[in-house]
Amino acid sequence: MVENRKIIHIDMDAFFASVEQRDHPEYQGKPVIVGGQPDKRGVVAACSYEARQFGIHSAMPSSTAYRLCPSAIIIQPRIDIYRQVSTEIQSIFKRYTDLVEPLSLDEAYLDVTESTEFQGSATLIARSIKKTIKEETDLTASAGVSYNKFLAKIASDMDKPDGLYLITPEQGEKFVEQLVVRKIHGIGKATEAKMKALGISLGSDLKRWNENSLIKEFGKAGRYYYQIARGIDHRPVKNNRIRKSIGSETTF
């Protein structure tokens, strides 16, 4: 049975780099890398969309990023500033619901199932949140709206930057069928390789397996994969969750 929850996942667009471009107008429209220096074994913590066009991504060695784009502007992270802006954004979330689960400085889940704002429309609430973030911080965010955390998070990545994407309960199962398995939360490179060896590349392949067979191959995670393949994710939004450490955040 499909749940009747209303979950929003908000993901700030290139957060660290966008803060730097906001605070330094001369950086706007230019490839910006936030991270360590290339000559000191630094790592890319975040990069602007202009930098991503050169193939640069977070967790990449800064030396590699510099080779890909010698004209990139490399900036040391200002964690205190990012924390401050993140706190401002979290306060915006709490105007709409008390059920806010921050994942890191730049993303969070919101459960707006019981909200009466905008006649309870999660899509209109998400649009209002994005508008308020832009007005108060001059930054953009992408939003995913769905009936569970898994699909809301996937949705927020579907229309970046500054997008809003909705996956309804009627669309959920079919949507997952078309997903490559590496997009499924909890499936890393090793599990993806094992699944491919078993002929599982898409959600539709995963859906063909019964629960017992998946448990036999993947242990307890098999039950989770069985449910996810059907668009089911019962995990609640936890407002007492401690977000990731700065070490995790700076490499996203």
The residues, any chain, with a CB within 8 Å of residue 240's CB and separated by 6 or more, are none
Residues marked active site are found at 107
Taking the chain (252 residues) in runs of 10, the rounded mean pLDDT of each run is 85 98 98 93 96 97 96 97 98 97 98 94 98 99 98 97 97 97 92 98 98 97 97 93 49 33
Q: What is the pLDDT of residue 126?
A: 99
Q: 17-75 sits in which CATH class?
A: alpha beta
What is d(CA 130, CA 163) in angstroms, rounded to the nearest whole number?
9
Kindly tell me the burial class for residue 17, based on how many C-beta atoms sit within 10 Å of its own C-beta (0-12, 13-18, 19 or more): buried
Closest alpha carbon to 137 in 252, 30, 45, 13: 13
Do 7-15+80-168 and 17-75 come out as alike in CATH topology?
no
On whether the CB atoms of residues 141 and 160 are closer than 8 A, the answer is no
Q: What is the pLDDT of residue 148?
A: 97
pTM of the model: 0.91
CATH number 1.10.1060.10 is the correct assignment for the domain at 7-15+80-168: no
Q: What is the pLDDT of residue 186?
A: 87
Q: What architecture (CATH level 2) is domain 172-229? A: Orthogonal Bundle (1.10)
On whether the CB atoms of residues 181 and 157 are closer than 8 A, the answer is no
Q: What is the pLDDT of residue 240?
A: 76
Instruction: Please give the sequence-ordered ranges of beta strands (E in DSSP) within the chain, or none if there are none.
Output: 7-12, 32-35, 44-47, 73-75, 100-104, 107-111, 141-146, 164-166
Q: Where are the domains of the chain?
A: 7-15+80-168, 17-75, 172-229
Q: How many other CB atoms are there within 10 angstroms of residue 77's CB atom? A: 18
